Amino acid sequence: MTARPPLVLDPRDTVAILPERTAGGLDPLGLGKPLIQPLPAGHKIARIDHATGDRVFKFGQIIGTASQAIRAGEHVHSHNLAFSSHDETYVIGADLEIARAAIPQIEPRAFMGYRRGNGQIGTRNYIALCATVNCSATVVRKAAQELESSGLLDAYPNVDGIVAFGHGTGCGMDSDGLGAQVLQRVLWGHATHPNVGAAVFVGLGCEVMQVGRMKAQFGTDHADRFHGLTIQETGGTRATIDRIKKMVTDLLPEVNAIQRSSCPASALKVALQCGGSDGFSGITANPALGIASDLLVGLGASAILSETPEIYGAEQLLLRRAANTDTAEKLIAQIRWWEHYTRINHGSLDNNPSPGNKAGGLTTILEKSLGAVAKAGSTPLAAVYDYGEQVTEPGFVFMDTPGYDPVSATGQIAGGAQIVVFTTGRGSAFGSKPAPTLKLATTTSLYRAMPEDMDLDCGDVLSGDATLEEKGAEILECILAAASGRKTKSEALGLGDNEFVPWQIGATM
Amino acid sequence: MTARPPLVLDPRDTVAILPERTAGGLDPLGLGKPLIQPLPAGHKIARIDHATGDRVFKFGQIIGTASQAIRAGEHVHSHNLAFSSHDETYVIGADLEIARAAIPQIEPRAFMGYRRGNGQIGTRNYIALCATVNCSATVVRKAAQELESSGLLDAYPNVDGIVAFGHGTGCGMDSDGLGAQVLQRVLWGHATHPNVGAAVFVGLGCEVMQVGRMKAQFGTDHADRFHGLTIQETGGTRATIDRIKKMVTDLLPEVNAIQRSSCPASALKVALQCGGSDGFSGITANPALGIASDLLVGLGASAILSETPEIYGAEQLLLRRAANTDTAEKLIAQIRWWEHYTRINHGSLDNNPSPGNKAGGLTTILEKSLGAVAKAGSTPLAAVYDYGEQVTEPGFVFMDTPGYDPVSATGQIAGGAQIVVFTTGRGSAFGSKPAPTLKLATTTSLYRAMPEDMDLDCGDVLSGDATLEEKGAEILECILAAASGRKTKSEALGLGDNEFVPWQIGATM
Ligand SMILES: [Ca+2]
Ligand SMILES: [Ca+2]
Ligand SMILES: [Ca+2]
Ligand SMILES: [Ca+2]
Ligand SMILES: [Ca+2]
């Protein structure tokens, strides 16, 4: 078995990544400077000579400066690479022209979607049962289960299913607080999602979260698409389940009437996610997904980066490619909010590379965050959204969310994402509704260990069997196929009912 | 139809409560002072003359002082009753002797429970599937559903079911923070609950919440009763569901081997709850439950009051009957913590009677909180617990929880409660596992509106068909019957799988 060649993530990079454990005495880049000790997979070696103070590039970005001279071929890590902690020198728009040049000029693409009367374009066609409060979680879940197992849906082939959105909150909360606003946006975003043909809101009756208030706040554009009832007015648990089933039964013919038709790829909003990251996330699946993101942007679609705690430390790079000042200022305000939120809760965002990260080859906080940001490619930051806010801008956009997978994806889907693409290294069993999730494995060993969960193997980037460019193009084809109705692995397993987790902010009282 | 007589909640009371809307000109107490205007149900009239400054009693407690002279028979409300806001004059143990005298001297009682090898006594016999993180919520729920619908359990009549505890948290959290500690206590408390014969912990593998850490913290007393696996090690979603089903199948004969036998009522820990309160909660169901609580205390059982935000303003009364200084100081520390928790989250505990409360006849914050505290009867405050902490003391005890029903009951059950008794006025569809919930309606109209959800009608206290003492005795009989295996209404409806909601404290990152 011949050694795999080191991986160059971007032509501008001054380091390359070892794809596998490499013995001392070997010279993987053939630069005449053999390694003086064995190195684990994921570590960096220099492609060129660096003088003290020279900038070191990975992902096409600066990850730090040489703290001593580094010869081409040498190991690059904490002993010779330094970074002056978290850089808060924000230069808004400095790299905007470079970012604009990174948008690929490509031919339009299409997928087979559901074009709705109000102009929305869906990739799935669900009936949604939305609980306003935990007190109605059981009735929506039981109604959905009874409908799904009744055989009734067999007569409606264009309906993907009845999905129940139950959750743990909706009362015992400040009715005017941020937590209530966030939950409202999430419920409304799911009920009016392009992948939802009709929605039924179900409450207990006396809870803080009230449907009437949501209608008043968000308007009645979608009023014909949703319906509501409460357990207290309907006569209890069993009567409410029966009423929901009757309402859904009446809605099915109308929801089934829509057919897939050719829709422009520009209608897609694709949520970018990672969870259970490993040392290869930033080397294989994330940069490959970044290339797919650039292609989506070239097609006029939206690619939604999120997980604010995981981009912390790299926000100044996003700001350098911000399309305008308002967008940049919104991101800065979100970063400041997170510093406050974690401080009052005795947490910290300053998650410098941990011993485990360092053993895996990550040297600086910037390098770590860049591995996460790599999912978002290289194009301009077109817009910044709050959690669950409706995404309306094409291009690469950012939505403020926690990093925790179900909470983050729930916000992105509430914002209108019709597809989620999720990279994982340790392995994940995530799935979502009404927007399906595609899962990308960072290594072939993970792909083989969880074959029924992983949609795509990005480990062949490491083995040299695929370039990042080829992998990015393959991911785009997977996205278009899933958008056209091909079931993802997590859909085939029936995941997505328990992964609806609205972000809880504030006190539970 | 003759007018129903006004209700006297305690012999010490200087006011009586109108059980129904009463016309002006009537003199409901026959004291020669007819009402000058009609009054809605729930309002107070004076039983005796009060001079300015005289103390006014309801629930056997001071609810305020007369701000002007009040003649016997007159309406008592904001115009003539005042309270000097939130009383923080804490006199620890001042009423302890009176509280001790309130413990009924009664004959021991028994119920048919499950006596376990380690001395625990259960009222149900479940196999629990505990998700350490949302990432494993789907696999535990699908495994439980597939097992429940397989017919396999028919051969094991002593097993009440397979219950899946899925939730929205377990990662994206500070691993050393209060939120992680609380979740650990809740998961451990459910897995080792007296109503659980065996438990299986299921994780993804890389989450913050780790079973090994729980075992190290809580010890291995229950090690033979639970088992664990992760999705990442087991090969993904489908393989993990199959593995869980195999483990449960192997556990069933052993868990089924236990039989109900006569157990002392002193082994019971009964959780007190209210949700969807109305103007009658503090008049019918809560004081009747308070009498049942006193009877339980007389039998040597534990009665667990909770919902800290709803006792706020009445804590000084609990402190007057605290059994010792440590107990009192723990409650004071919890009150201070809540003031901090709501302040940093821009909320407030100072929920003085709202316009709706006032229209319902509640005059002061103390009167409002006393309505909630009435559930706990009159005996000494024997101990104070943190959320989900193991309850070990007999008698009336307090556990710090939010007021929000599912979160509060989840903490009480984690603490070892084998039965929940839940009063409701607006109506509730709550149910719980592994400890069943009995629901008490405050009015006959609610009892009739939700007949399949309500276990007991406390409205007959209002109509004069039952005294509070009779109702309290009836509630005790219901508790003993449910403890012996009689299904509650919520169990018959299959509730309790979605109402497991651990309190989330701290930042989601
Ligand atoms: Ca991530
Ligand atoms: Ca993550
Ligand atoms: Ca994530
Ligand atoms: Ca309450
Ligand atoms: Ca409650």
Which of the listed residues A196, A222, A257 is the one where a domain comes to its end? A257
Q: Is B495 on the interface with A (CB under 8 A)?
A: yes
Of A237, A428, A452, the CB nearest to B135: A428
Q: Do residue A498 and residue B138 have CB atoms under 8 angstroms apart?
A: yes
Nearest-Cα distance to chain A for B505, in Å, is: 8
Of B205, B427, B498, the CB nearest to A141: B498
- Residue B503 CA, distance from chain mean position: 15
Based on the fold, state whether residues B300 and B427 are members of the same structural domain. yes
Q: Domain of residue B150: give its range.
A: 126-257
Which A residues in the span 324-343 are in contact with B, Cβ-Cβ below 8 Å?
Answer: 341-342
CB count in 10 Å sphere of residue A249:
12
Based on the fold, state whether residues B246 and B301 are members of the same structural domain. no
Q: Is B93 part of a structural domain of the chain?
A: no
Q: Do residue B449 and residue A501 have CB atoms under 8 angstroms apart?
A: no
Q: What pLDDT does residue A85 have?
A: 59
Based on the fold, state whether residues B308 and B238 are members of the same structural domain. no
Q: What is the pLDDT along chain A (509 residues), one digit of tens a residue?
A: 457 889 999 889 999 999 999 999 999 999 989 999 999 989 999 999 999 999 999 988 889 999 999 999 999 999 999 986 566 789 999 999 999 999 999 999 999 999 999 999 999 999 999 999 999 999 999 999 999 999 999 999 999 999 999 999 999 998 889 999 999 999 999 999 999 999 999 999 988 888 888 777 777 666 667 789 999 999 999 999 999 999 999 999 999 999 999 999 999 999 999 998 888 999 999 999 999 999 999 999 999 999 999 999 889 889 999 999 999 999 999 999 999 999 999 888 877 777 778 888 889 888 988 999 999 999 999 999 999 999 999 999 999 999 999 999 999 999 999 999 999 999 999 999 999 999 999 999 999 999 999 999 999 999 889 999 999 999 999 999 999 999 999 999 999 999 999 999 999 99
CB count in 10 Å sphere of residue B56:
27
Residue linked to tokens 């205007």: B37
Q: Do residue A237 and residue B171 have CB atoms under 8 angstroms apart?
A: no
Q: What pLDDT does residue A365 have?
A: 81
Based on the fold, state whether residues A142 and A235 are members of the same structural domain. yes
Cα angle at B49 between B47 and B50, to 5 degrees?
Answer: 110
Q: Is B92 part of a structural domain of the chain?
A: no
Which positions of chain B have pLDDT values less than 70?
Answer: 1-2, 84-87, 220-224
Q: Is B112 part of a structural domain of the chain?
A: no
pTM above 0.90, yes or no: yes
Based on the fold, state whether residues B424 and B287 are members of the same structural domain. yes
Based on the fold, state whether residues A68 and A130 are members of the same structural domain. no
Q: Is B154 part of a structural domain of the chain?
A: yes
Q: Specify the pairing of strand B126-131 against strand B196-203.
A: parallel
Which of the listed residues B204, B224, B257 is the one where a domain comes to its end? B257
Q: What pLDDT does residue B346 have?
A: 85
Q: Is A199 left (phi over 0), alpha (psi -120 to 50) or beta?
A: beta
Based on the fold, state whether residues A240 and A214 are members of the same structural domain. yes
Closest C-alpha among A275, A277, A278 to residue A42: A278
Based on the fold, state whether residues A270 and A252 are members of the same structural domain. no
Q: Is A109 part of a structural domain of the chain?
A: no
Q: What is the DSSP string of A268-295?
A: -EEEEEE-S--TTTTTTHHHHHHHHHHH
Q: Is A117 part of a structural domain of the chain?
A: no
Q: How far is the CA of B306 from the centre of ligand 4 (A)?
A: 9
Q: Is B364 part of a structural domain of the chain?
A: yes
Q: What pLDDT does residue A1 have?
A: 42
What are the CA-CA distances from residue B279 to residues A49, B63, B81, B283, B425 (Å)? 79, 16, 18, 8, 8
Nearest-Cα distance to chain A for B175, in Å, is: 10
State both tokens at B166: 């899925």
Q: Do residue A137 and residue B499 have CB atoms under 8 angstroms apart?
A: yes
Q: Is B242 on the interface with A (CB under 8 A)?
A: no
Based on the fold, state whether residues A331 and A403 are members of the same structural domain. yes
Contacts of A406 in chain B (CB under 8 A): 134-135, 168
Dist CA B425 CA A205 (whole Å): 12
CATH number of the domain residue A167 falls in: 3.40.50
Residue linked to tokens 């109702």: B471
Q: How far is the CA of B278 from the centre of ligand 4 (A)?
A: 10
Q: What pLDDT does residue B87 have?
A: 66
Ligand nearest to the CA of residue A281, numbered in listed order: 1
Nearest-Cα distance to chain B for A190, in Å, is: 17
What are the CA-CA distances from residue B13 to residues B46, B47, B64, B126, B284 (Å)? 9, 8, 12, 45, 15
State both tokens at B212: 């090994």
Task: Supply the angle between the helices A285-298 and A468-483 in degrees, to the nearest 10.
Answer: 60
Taking one residue from A and the other from B, the number of pairs with CB-CB distance under 8 angstroms is: 221
Ligand nearest to the CA of residue B371, numbered in listed order: 4
Based on the fold, state whether residues B47 and B147 are members of the same structural domain. no
CATH number of the domain residue B12 falls in: 2.30.130.110
What are the CA-CA distances from residue A80 to residues A10, A67, A68 (Å)? 21, 5, 5
State both tokens at B29: 């107490």
State both tokens at A118: 């109000």
Q: What pLDDT does residue B163 have?
A: 98
Radius of gyration of chain A measured on its C-alpha atoms: 24
Q: What pLDDT does residue B223 have?
A: 66
Which B residues in the span 385-444 are in contact with A, Cβ-Cβ below 8 Å?
Answer: 402-407, 426-431
Q: What pLDDT does residue B277 have?
A: 85
Q: Is B157 part of a structural domain of the chain?
A: yes
Based on the fold, state whether residues A173 and A313 are members of the same structural domain. no
Residues B1, B23 contacting (CB under 8 angstroms): no
Based on the fold, state whether residues A182 and A211 are members of the same structural domain. yes
Which of the listed residues B58, B85, B112 is the one where a domain comes to its end? B85
CB-based contacts of A266, cutoff 8 Å, min separation 6: A108, A299, A300, A301, A394
Domain count along chain A: 3
Dist CA A247 CA A242 (whole Å): 9
